[in-house]
Amino acid sequence: MKIGIDATCWWNQRGFGRMARELLSAMFALDSEHTFYLFIDQVPDEAMNLPNIEIVQVFPDRPVTDAAVANDSRSIGDMARLYKAVSASPVDMMFFPAVYSWFPIPLKLPTVVTLHDAIAEHFPEMIFPDWKGRLFWTLKVKLALWQCKRVMTVSHAAKAEIEQYIGVRSALIDVISEAPNKLFRRIDDSALYQELRQRIGLPLSGRLIVYVGGLAPHKNLQGFLEGFALARENRQLDDVHVVLVGDYGGAGFHSNYGELQQFANDKHLSGVVHFTGFISDEDLVILYNDALAAAMPSFSEGFGLPAVEAMACGTPVLSSNKGSLPEVVGDAGVFFDPYDVKSISRAIISMSSESELRDELSKLAATRAATFTWQRAAKLALGYLEAVALTGANRPKGH
């Protein structure tokens, strides 16, 4: 079978870009006789140079990673170029690893679109800085759902949210998962820890709670910092610091970095809350291994990939009890209500002051992370794609 794949989101540095790279790479490595046609709008990545891959490069005015963001939009001309490229290719079906980069394709092609979550529909005011971004997103999702045959998502919680907030019938949604890259593993090297701390401006002593991801309102970082400020009234936390890792500008998506920085100053946390900006995966592995815990305080997550990456390093999670996080973190974390500052504070105090609990959670974290693999996710995804191709062309429909 010839499977067309929208790979224009390959270069995105947020969670769905990472998911696309990992899932597709694992899919290409499976023992199958399929040929994958990758539709891209940038210079091909070296990982795409495989015998079972055909590259179809389109030259837009602006690549998707620049244009398909919360405060911008793609040109009709660029989407028409992609449409023509797909039309001229001998593909039997089309797969979009993220609705973020969806574009129209011929109606005759069976199509699967991935919705990672329904956060934009659940919390629109936290995701989009203005009505224009919200309108373009809503239109894109509606058109993608009208044209596709089935929807793929990354957790059962995301599936339930998509059904509730977008209205896709449960029977039309297939669930895969995500997983940590093999790079994320246990490392016991205090010299590496110290070198990284010095290089990215962290204190050379003290315990670290690390958050990795977008600095966006729905991530509830202000609520977490408020809980941290309350927890610091407990003297056992004098040496605990919070490290917020993420692109200050949101990589084109809504960011409240300035508000978070001001909030930290107002709460007298400027010496114990640190913003690092974007850091490499190689450095993330070291930082997670050096951390007391990883923080996932979101109001909702489709999966929560940073959680399993931290867990693979033996780092337990201070986790919201909303969205997919209970499903993903399991017994490897201390949970709290993200809407309750006192609940957040209690969780931070528990993780920071109960060393036996933290050590036990560390062991459970590594064990649980090992149950998530990209190979398993890729097998599931490919099976769903094969089933869709066998059942024929799309029938445009409501959802």
pLDDT digit string (tens) for 81-134? 999 999 999 999 999 999 999 999 999 999 999 999 999 999 888 777 777 778
pLDDT at 77: 87
- Whether 247 shows a pLDDT value over 70: the answer reads yes
Question: How far, in whole angstroms, is CA 193 from its chain's centroid?
Answer: 25
pLDDT at 333: 97
Closest CA to 238 of 204, 274, 206, 202: 206
C-alpha radius of gyration, the chain, whole number: 21
DSSP string, 327-345: HHHTTSEEEE-TT-HHHHH
pLDDT at 134: 82
What's the rounded Cα separation, in Å, for the pair 336 and 219? Answer: 14
pLDDT digit string (tens) for 360-388? 999 999 999 999 999 999 999 999 999 99
- Whether 396 shows a pLDDT value over 80: the answer reads no
Residues forming a β-bridge with 207: 240
pLDDT at 395: 47
Exposed e or buried b per residue across 319-338, where buried means at least 16 C-beta atoms within 10 angstroms of its C-beta = bbbbbbbeebbbebbbbbeb
DSSP string, 253-282: S---HHHHHHHHHHTT-TTTEEEEE---HH
pLDDT at 73: 65
Average pLDDT over every residue of 46-70 = 83
pTM equals 0.92
What's the rounded Cα separation, in Å, for the pair 319 and 243? Answer: 15
Residues forming a β-bridge with 122: none
What's the rounded Cα separation, in Å, for the pair 322 and 337? Answer: 8
What's the rounded Cα separation, in Å, for the pair 157 and 366? Answer: 22
pLDDT cut 90: percent of the chain above it: 80
pLDDT digit string (tens) for 123-139? 888 777 777 778 888 89
Place of tokens 């029938």: 395
What's the rounded Cα separation, in Å, for the pair 123 and 309? Answer: 25
What's the rounded Cα separation, in Å, for the pair 394 and 249? Answer: 38
What's the rounded Cα separation, in Å, for the pair 316 and 308? Answer: 9
When pLDDT is cut at 50, 70 and 90, the band that residue 76 belongs to is confident
177 in Cβ contact with 303 (< 8 Å): yes
Place of tokens 């060393």: 355
Q: Which two tokens stand for residue 262?
A: 């001001």
168: exposed, middle or buried (C-beta count within 10 Å: 0-12, 13-18, 19+)?
buried
- Whether 74 shows a pLDDT value over 90: the answer reads no
